[in-house]
Amino acid sequence: MAHSHKAKHYTGLMDWLTTVDHKKIGILYLIAGGLFFLMGGVEAILIRIQLLYPDQKIFIGDTFNALTTMHGTTMIFFAAMPIIFAFMNAVVPLQIGARDVAFPFVNALGFWLFFFGGVMLNTSWFLGGAPAAGWTAYSPLASIVDPTISYHGVDFYVLGLQIAGLGTLIGGINFLVTIINMRAPGMTYMRMPLFTWTAFITSALILFAFPAITVGLVELMFDRLFGGAFFDVAKGGNAVLWEHLFWIFGHPEVYILILPAFGIISEIVSTFSKKRLFGYSSMVFATALIGFLGFMVWVHHMFTTGIGPVGNAIFSIATMAIAVPTGVKIFNWLFTLWGGQIRFTTANIFATAFIPTFVMGGTTGVMLAVPAADFQYHDTYFVVAHFHYVIVGGLVLGLFAGAYYWWPKMFGRMLNETLGKIHFWTFFIGFHMTFFPQHFLGLMGMPRRVFTYQPGVGLEEGNFISTIGAFLMGIGTIVFLINTISTARLPKNAPADPWDGRTLEWAIPSPPPEYNFKQTPLVRGLDPLWKEKMAGNKEMTPAEPIGSIHMPSPSILPLIFSIGFFIAGFGFMYHTYVVSVIGIAIMLLCMLLRSVYDDHGYHIEPEELNDKGVKA
């Protein structure tokens, strides 16, 4: 049956600016997140250069404060989050047997909002100074507005995070709907791969956590731009209110970051052990429990604010309770490896190195959960070491593992394994050199966010080793970049299933066609592709005959809408309301066009599928 709707096809740059294909959006997230990761890494190295020796005067005062603020903010919100969204976009629809996400247009809008939020924050370097109030932007430091100087640093933070946060929020809603509604026949909840489960729970955390930071940022914006009094104690406000709002979001955010890494490790450990994941159902329930408990522990960041012994004790116990489901995961990964036919590919080396490193981060977390001890550790380098063992030793190792594992599926090219192993060892050794000494620096009393330290008090050696380690991590990252660039120059050589995988994404060509599956697959158990392989089938059993496939049309509106938001933000920041009106008008015009113009998309007919010679 012929369809009258013509396909809109763009090429080159226009194709990427208008795409609503979840796989291309995943690549856009990966590229943008990678660029912000490099920026955050450079900021970290500059911080470590200043701390290489005592009494250095390279980056001091507000310059150092801006570096620490921008490093933390960039790495959390504009590097880690988008790279997680890159893998969610590239992999989740394939793992559940879907042809696309539920709302392709919204998916594109989420990316462009995130991207322009990140651009807005980083333009602060060139427009009068970056924010220097710490990545947590505590009041009253973040609330101070001096009308005699044109410093807008924290305004960039407030508006950039609001724009990017809106993109993340609608992205999370999109994935919730996709996973609930678009699973292939037979793909019950308890047959979903662990990465899809972690993406699902992460999206739920985004849905409930991001409104808290949004409220806090709106209130801080009113304080700064319109003379509000939410956090100004002199006007009857409460500075601790910001801490509560920030950490009600901030602690679930840690699990928004780490849960997808847990999912990646679960996929890789299972694939390269040639074994089904040990204790699958307990892993699912442990993931859900971590997400649930994550909302009940935010005050452990605030033990020193004077909440009192009862409040501190309740949140201390809740924090320690998270160790139980996390321990379940650790032992299940070890039992999956136990007795397996283990292949130490680069992806699996990163995944197995993740396990003991993350355990170290979790152990210091339990130490910080004791209020009496936390009074000593608080605001020292011990906390910096703990946090980086969780986020870098956990999340970043997990993301690198995922990159080596899914690169062939995303780009159709195999990364070089030798370069991959060089990357691993330089990064891994550099990581431990950087952050392991910081535990002891903290216990010796070195405060964080301070740009110098006294000579002769025993802090020189730890800081020197730490800085050398940071350079090693940088070298490892450069090796990874060389690997990706040199691979991109080669022809596409990845087979559909390079790792002898177990889940549905390995059942289709690498990279996947725009419609993902020629026929929706029929899922007959956990690890559906492996089940078909064990039954002697070379491909998935289809759940439908070959038919016409409906595809969404590309659109430039998400990009233009985000630019309108970006323009409006600058107008509010500089109190130039004509500019704000122009930005809001662009946004409203995009919303109007989206509402009144009914785009039916287009269809790929069976004859075209056969012409392309694509295997099911």
Helix or strand or coil: residue 272? helix
Give the span between the Cα atoms of 147 and 573, in whole angstroms.
13
Q: What is the pLDDT at residue 5?
A: 57
Token reading at 367: 């130490």
Q: What is the pLDDT of residue 189?
A: 97
Using alpha carbons, select from 331, 190, 344 the residue that is nearest to residue 271.
344
- List pLDDT tens digits, range 349-358: 999 999 999 9
Tell me: pLDDT of 613 over 50.
no
pTM: 0.96
The long-range contacts involving 451-455, CB below 8 angstroms and separated by at least 24 positions, are: 451/50, 451/51, 451/59, 451/60, 451/61, 451/64, 451/65, 452/50, 452/51, 452/54, 452/55, 452/56, 452/60, 453/51, 453/54, 454/54, 454/55, 455/54, 455/55
Pairwise CA distance, residues 119 & 82, whole Å: 13
pLDDT of residue 129: 84
The torsion angle over the Cα atoms of residues 395, 397, 402 and 408, rounded to 10 degrees, is 150
Those residues with Cβ within 8 angstroms of residue 234's Cβ, 6 or more apart along the chain or in another chain: none
DSSP class of residue 507 equals G
Q: What is the pLDDT of residues 104-147, one digit of tens each?
A: 999 999 999 999 999 999 999 998 889 999 999 998 888 877 65
- Whether the predicted pLDDT of 504 surpasses 80: yes
Quick one: how many helices (H) and strands (E) in the chain? Answer: 21, 2
Would you state the pLDDT for residue 173?
97
CA–CA distance, 616 with 208 (Å, rounded to integer):
39
Distance CA(325)–CA(573), nearest Å, equals 44
Question: pLDDT band for position 6 (50/70/90)?
Answer: low
Q: What is the mean pLDDT of residues 501-510?
A: 94
| For residue 269, pLDDT beyond 90 | yes
The whole-angstrom separation of Cα 367 and Cα 354 is: 20
Condensed to tens digits (0 to 9), the pLDDT of residues 480-491 reads: 999 999 999 989
What does the alpha-carbon distance between residue 470 and residue 164 come to, in Å, rounded to a whole number? 28
Q: What is the pLDDT of residues 424-478, one digit of tens each?
A: 999 999 999 999 999 999 999 999 999 999 999 999 999 999 999 999 999 999 9
For residue 593 the two structure tokens come to 């066009």
pLDDT band at 1 (very low <50, low <70, confident <90, very high): very low
- Which pLDDT score, from 0 to 100, does residue 600 have? 86
The mean predicted confidence, pLDDT, of the chain is 93
Angle at 69 (CA atoms; ends 68, 73), nearest 5 degrees:
115
Percent of the chain with pLDDT over 70: 97
